[in-house]
Amino acid sequence: MSEFPTFQVIPAVDVQDGEVVQLVQGERGTEKRYGDPVDAARRWLDEGAEALHLVDLDGAFEGQRANADAIDDVLETVDVPTQLGGGIRTADDAVDLLERGVDRVILGTAAVENPEIVAEISERHPDSVVVSLDAKDGEVVVEGWTEGAGISPVEAAERYEELGAAAILFTNVDVEGQLEGVATEPVRELVDATAIPVVASGGVATLEDVRDLKDAGAAAVVVGSALYEGKFTLEEAQSVVDDS
């Protein structure tokens, strides 16, 4: 998963209490459930997924991985690159996951609280760290999107690029999970500010949203609710950007 040679549409498998869920604006209690994580992963592979985005949501909120068994079952099932986030708080945690077969680890709170962790992991496993920059009202938020970090996404992206991050995962929490469309300008600002790939997430509701994020310069897009709700198929989403 070292590069994104072509724009990728990456299905999300977000796990809470052992089940796939989608949250609205990242708030607990808003979840809609979509069944077994392995079944979801197999579905996306059958539909042509070239990568999977895995998140331990309980881990993101609680600060330690809580769905390890469910995630491990997915990893044992799939044969495409995976990126995993949620509850990864130390370099040793990240390295353990990478050595067990995860292609990239996604760091959010840990990277904000200790930026040097990005360099530490990257030195041991180059090109393996995706820094998750989740933003509300133009400010990076952490701790499961509940606390402001006092820094803008652009400022943060520039910092993590210098520390060796392989990519930035940018989630616009203002539109996340609402199926009401994307905001492309923040994505464009990040793309202009950094030389590493920007993976966009949040708000995708239509094929036009997918195309707009590609046009904004994103290297890939993570899609959750729109796929689970049948707004379009994975094949349709990938085709619309391949053809554009």
Catalytic residue among 56, 58, 103, 134: 134
14 is catalytic: yes
96 is catalytic: no
Q: How confident is the model at residue 120 (pLDDT cuts 50, 70, 90)?
A: very high
Catalytic residue among 14, 58, 103, 209: 14
The residue-averaged pLDDT of 101-119 equals 93
In this structure, of 1-5, 28-32, 78-82, 141-145, the range with the lowest mean pLDDT score is: 1-5
Q: How confident is the model at residue 2 (pLDDT cuts 50, 70, 90)?
A: very low
Task: Using a cut of 0.75, tell me whether the model's pTM lies above it.
Answer: yes
CB 71 within 8 A of CB 55: no
The residue-averaged pLDDT of 82-95 equals 94
- Give the whole-angstrom CA distance, residue 208 versus residue 235: 14
pLDDT, position 150 = 87
Query: Over 80: is that where the pLDDT of 36 sits?
Result: yes
Please report, for the chain, the start and end positions of each structural domain, with discontinuous segments joined by +.
Answer: 8-239
Cβ-count burial of 76 within 10 angstroms (0-12 exposed, 13-18 middle, 19+ buried)?
Answer: exposed
Q: What is the CATH number of domain 8-239?
A: 3.20.20.70
pLDDT, position 1 = 46
